Structure 1
Amino acid sequence: MSVATRLGVDDPEEGLLAQARDRWARWGQDDPVLAVVADLLELPEWVQARTGPQAPLPALVEADAVLHRLARLASPRGGDDVAATAALAYLLVPGASLLAHRLEGYSPHIDHYVAGQLWLEIRAFPWERLSKVAANVLLRTRRAVIRDLRGDALTPVDPTEATWQLLETRPRPHAEDAYRRAQASWRVRTVLDQAVAENVITEKDRALLTALAEAASEHRVSRAGRGFGGLCSIPALESVAAQSGCSLSTVRRRARESLDAVAAAYGYLQKAS
């Protein structure tokens, strides 16, 4: 059973998704930010066109504003509308399905866990203080699913909101090695955040480097090789290129330009090779 089926948003003519379609026009009248398409079913394509790898920042902001309004409508602290929850879940199905695929080794019922947690994260989303709805909801879903499925065997090693992660509990010195790797990951993320704040790189550049880091980790790429900790390794580049729809050479070029800019600004980071 798919994530969409578990969420109850696989049939636009039934259930909460049908209710959301019926309410879409009224939502747009009440909030002009949502008046971007005539039918809710047209919204995924509209969002995708504004969030691709070549999308300008204003388009990304516009798309996130729509998702943010839906998150507010869905929240018990906002509109408390479960149909809006279904609408936002419908938009996040592609990302949630990819997440379930990546975590399928955790459980044969991973679609069930991901769908249930996604719904909870949408309802609980802190729209009052957070933006970037899709990224934050999916990240929180991933964390919670892993914690629930493997919580007894995991240890939190980094309590910061942006980089909190779980690592398998292992006898020392393996746990210490894992902790050092987590600290290194946290430092890199901190540098990238600083680079965005100081206009060394853009948010899109940071998103690309983060995606490459996740892909390198998933493919167990050695950080000792070429390409700044494996970010420019072939497995990582191929994975991100496939997800983004860009060519491998384009992803490599953008990554190297960003890494070189960060290295030039802060000196102690190895340049991309």
Structure 2
Amino acid sequence: MSVAEEYGFDDPGSPLLVEARTGWERWCAADPSLAVVDDLIELREWTQHASPDDKVAVLRALAALTATDRSAVAALVWLLIPGACRVAEALGDLSPDIDALVASELWVQVSQAHRLRTPWLARALLNATRREVAASLDVGCRADRHWGRVLLTDDAATLASTAEDRAAVEPVVAPDVELSEFLTQAVLDHAVSEDEACLLRELAVAAETVGAPLRRGRLGLTTPAAVELVAQGHPEAPRTLRRRAARSLDRLKVYAAGWSNESNWGCWRSEQKGREISAA
């Protein structure tokens, strides 16, 4: 079973997919600006080549329709199936029924898509789906205010967003929660280990405690005072901890390039699997 099969989307003639495709024809007839493709089935491929502005406009239009039209929910769910499959894959070891859990939660989240005020609609819906499914299985991570305050500035902002200007957009969730979700997903995807993620959080707290300047040492995380404070609770020498933190941050920046950009995600996953096979 897969997330797509939970909806019957593996069959082009399934009632739900037929409903979504019929709805697409109806919406395009009413609003020609939405008619970027003739058939909903072609929309996923279109999103891979469309400009960011055009893609945002189409997704927002679909999201607005979810307030009153179940067909729009079905259409938007169908569009998000590839991302939902990645969520299920990442959480697969938590439950034998993970596909059903992800499918049901995705429908709930998409049904509320008209309430979201972000251009990163697909990412927001998939993040919310993963967060709620993980929480239902008693898995998750509490956001750390120190981590959020330290890392959402300067160069490390690339860990949680692309280079697009998001200043004028109201966030869907608090920045520290969003970044905590990113870090949790990075651990699930094996971009960093749980120990490495914990070390970075400890360094973030220490950097704030000692008042480390953000312009130095990876936004203060690897400044001598912060590292020495954390080293008091670790068997490793400060120099070793500093190297570990620097390597982890470098890997997170590479991971973020794929995590925040759908077109880069496949490349990152392929490279990651190649490294895992080589290590084995």
Scaled to the shorter chain, the TM-score interval is 0.5 to 0.7
The residue aligned with 2:78 is 90
Following superposition, the deviation at residue 82 of structure 1 comes to: 1.4
- Choose from 250, 258, 263 the match for 1:232: 250
Aligned mates of 2:4, 2:269 — CA distance in 1: 29
Are positions 1:166 and 2:141 aligned together? yes
Contact 2:65 2:114 survives alignment (8 Å): no
Contact 1:21 1:40 survives alignment (8 Å): yes
Following superposition, the deviation at residue 238 of structure 1 comes to: 11
Following superposition, the deviation at residue 128 of structure 1 comes to: 5.8
RMSD (CA atoms): 3.7
- Choose from 108, 111, 125 the match for 2:96: 108
Aligned mates of 2:22, 2:157 — CA distance in 1: 44
Contact 1:74 1:85 survives alignment (8 Å): yes
Unpaired runs of 5+ residues, structure 2, are 167-178, 201-240, 272-280
> Counterpart of 1:70 in structure 2: which amino acid?
L
The residue aligned with 1:186 is 148
The residue aligned with 1:138 is 126
Are positions 1:47 and 2:47 aligned together? yes
Following superposition, the deviation at residue 231 of structure 1 comes to: 3.1
Change (3 A) 1:230 1:212: farther
Change (3 A) 1:192 1:140: farther
Aligned mates of 2:155, 2:26 — CA distance in 1: 39
Change (3 A) 1:188 1:217: farther
- Choose from 260, 265, 272 the match for 1:243: 265
Contact 2:3 2:100 survives alignment (8 Å): yes
Following superposition, the deviation at residue 68 of structure 1 comes to: 1.5
Aligned mates of 1:238, 1:28 — CA distance in 2: 35
Aligned mates of 1:247, 1:145 — CA distance in 2: 22
Are positions 1:203 and 2:164 aligned together? yes
Contact 2:6 2:103 survives alignment (8 Å): yes
Following superposition, the deviation at residue 13 of structure 1 comes to: 1.7
Q: What is the SS of the residue equivalent to 2:152? A: helix
Change (3 A) 1:230 1:125: same
Change (3 A) 1:105 1:188: farther
Could you give the per-residue CA deviations for residues 91-145 of structure 1, whole angstroms, max 9, x where no partner exists?
A: 1000000000000121110000000000000001243633321011111111111
The residue aligned with 2:275 is none
Could you give the per-residue CA deviations for residues 14-65 of structure 1, whole angstroms, max 9, x where no partner exists?
A: 2121122123222112223321001111100001223xxxxxxxx1121122
Q: What is the SS of the residue equivalent to 2:9? A: coil
Aligned mates of 2:88, 2:129 — CA distance in 1: 10
Aligned mates of 2:20, 2:49 — CA distance in 1: 22
Aligned mates of 2:267, 2:33 — CA distance in 1: 28
Unpaired runs of 5+ residues, structure 1, are 51-58, 155-164, 168-178, 250-273
The residue aligned with 2:3 is 3
Aligned mates of 2:62, 2:154 — CA distance in 1: 29
Contact 2:255 2:268 survives alignment (8 Å): no
Q: TM-score, normalised by structure 1?
A: 0.62
> Counterpart of 2:10 in structure 1: which amino acid?
D
Could you give the per-residue CA deviations for residues 149-189 of structure 1, whole angstroms, max 9, x where no partner exists?
A: 11xxx6xxxxxxxxxx634xxxxxxxxxxx7xx33431245
Aligned mates of 1:246, 1:146 — CA distance in 2: 23
The residue aligned with 2:214 is none
The residue aligned with 1:171 is none
Could you give the per-residue CA deviations for residues 213-241 of structure 1, whole angstroms, max 9, x where no partner exists?
A: 56653324434435746132399659949
Contact 1:226 1:233 survives alignment (8 Å): no
Contact 2:3 2:103 survives alignment (8 Å): yes
> Counterpart of 1:230 in structure 2: which amino acid?
S
> Counterpart of 1:143 in structure 2: which amino acid?
R
Identity across the alignment (%): 35
Contact 1:24 1:39 survives alignment (8 Å): yes
Equivalent pairs counted in the alignment come to: 203
Are positions 1:125 and 2:113 aligned together? yes
Are positions 1:60 and 2:52 aligned together? yes
Q: What is the SS of the residue equivalent to 1:245? A: helix
